[in-house]
Chain A
Amino acid sequence: MKRFLLYVVFIVFAGLSLTELLSLWHTDWKKDRSGVVFVRNVTDNTATAPVRQPVVTDYKKMIEVQGADH
């Protein structure tokens, strides 16, 4: 019984870890290396124009770092 539980626990741990890693790697691998995260020019009319979207990188999917002391 304990061996069965061990296998279940290991599969759960490994599955979740792999899922997290693959999502991080997928984001970074697809990241356009020629883009920038955010740009704002002095000529941008921020009063009426929407917030400029990032050129390429989807920064909302960027990796969440641990222990942020914000």
Chain B
Amino acid sequence: MKIRLHTSIAFISLALVVAAWFGGSLRQMDAVEARVRAIRPDITAIQKMEPGLYEGRNAQNQPLYIALESHPGYGGPVLMAIVVNTEKRIETVAIVESAETGPYLTKIIEAAVPDAFLGGSIDKLPHVHAVSGATMSSEAVIRGTARAAAMLGAQRFGLPPAPEPPLLGKEDMVRLLVVAGFFIVALIVASKRFIWNKNRARLILLATSVGVLGFWYGSQFSLATVALFVSGTWLKGVASWAPLVCLLLAVAVLILTRKNLYCAAICPFGGIQEGLSRITACSPPIVPTWMVWASRLLTLAALCMALYCRSPSDATYEPFGKTFNGVGSAVLFALTVAVLLSSLVFKRPWCRLLCPITSLSDYVQFVRNRLSNKVAQPEGDDPAPQKNNGATAPPAMNSNHTKQE
């Protein structure tokens, strides 16, 4: 009976996510057209010529062209627009849509980055430097503008198209290799052939991950990364592929080995909590069922909202960014402090109570087990106790949480 109920909940959750995705698509389509008109209200008779390319008339009835192109910033694609006259001169530069952090965007605007393109010809764009302290955001503005100019030049003025930039930079390639390396080591440690102390090796790997993936690279994935992946925004490019690849590897390992190695041996935030817990030698909390489901409901709501608004950052309630990079609101700062302090009382309190990745891994494991019909025993109110953070394969939905009373 409970299996059927959980299966129904799993289906409904998936349906809600899909509905949010569709709703977001429709919402976005309506917005683009309205925004094109808002860029220059004096332009009339605007007609769409190609995807991202519009033509209109100014007050003197002369044709003007509006080109839109995006480039990945740190929070997601930054959509830039330029208005160009028949002499190929840029009359207007606009940031149409952005999910970049507010202070960074202010910095870019105050540094007059968009202004640098005004009055210039689209076939002789100036070389604009990125703003120090807002590199990725300013690169998104600069390259988005350049791509819009190149697209318009090729479509309307017969200019040669600009070469596409490489998909992966050297630095990002190194990060991907490091991320993959962590998963390979975790698989080796978890394998039966590993003859040394597994727990010690796991702790060493966790500590290394805190330093490398956490503080140095900032490559930890979050619910925002999941939203980025599900929404398809990553198809337009991302500033860094490392968190996305980390997510895909974690899910792949979970499905193939039925072990949540990411949470157990790699997650930097989990590593910090576990390190603090060792100071007081505290035990994991015993989590009531209603708390488990409250956490899952919050995860589902955040994911749906992020998909509907097409803003992956709308799913960001984890304190990872504040912990490792100091980026986040005052509320996230308070949450970070709360998690760190409570890690002295309970082992891995965020992981056990509210981490959305725990909810997601429960879901993936349940679906996997259901599809492979491995759920043989009927569930009771007190599922069997699990070892720390899913190091063993869980039987059903209540998988990554400790035993209930």
Contact = CB atoms under 8 A, between A and B. Distances in A.
Contacts of A24: 311, 313-314, 316
Contact of B104 (A36, A61, A67, A68): A68
A20 B74 CA distance: 20
A35, A38, A56: which has the most chain B beta carbons within 10 Å? A38
Given A59-B102, A63-B313, A34 B95 contact: no
B320 interface: yes
Nearest to B104: A70
Interface string B85-96: 000011111111
Contacts, number: 213
B34 A69 contact: no
A2 B402 CA distance: 15
Nearest to B136: A70
B240 interface: yes
Interface size class, chain A: 35 or more
A36 B106 CA distance: 14
A36 B39 contact: yes
Contacts of B134: 70
B325 A36 contact: no
Contact of B321 (A2, A3, A56, A65): A65
Nearest to B341: A9
B151 to A, nearest CB: 19
Contacts of A70: 74, 104, 133-137
Interface stretch (B181-189, B349-357, B377-385, B393-401): B349-357
Given A17-B298, A40-B93, A68-B101, A60 B106 contact: yes
21 contacts: A5-B345, A5-B346, A13-B339, A16-B331, A16-B332, A16-B335, A20-B329, A21-B302, A38-B114, A40-B114, A41-B40, A41-B92, A42-B90, A46-B115, A60-B103, A64-B313, A64-B316, A64-B321, A65-B75, A65-B99, A65-B316
Interface of A: 2-3, 5-6, 9-10, 12-14, 16-21, 23-25, 28-29, 33-43, 46, 51, 55-56, 59-70
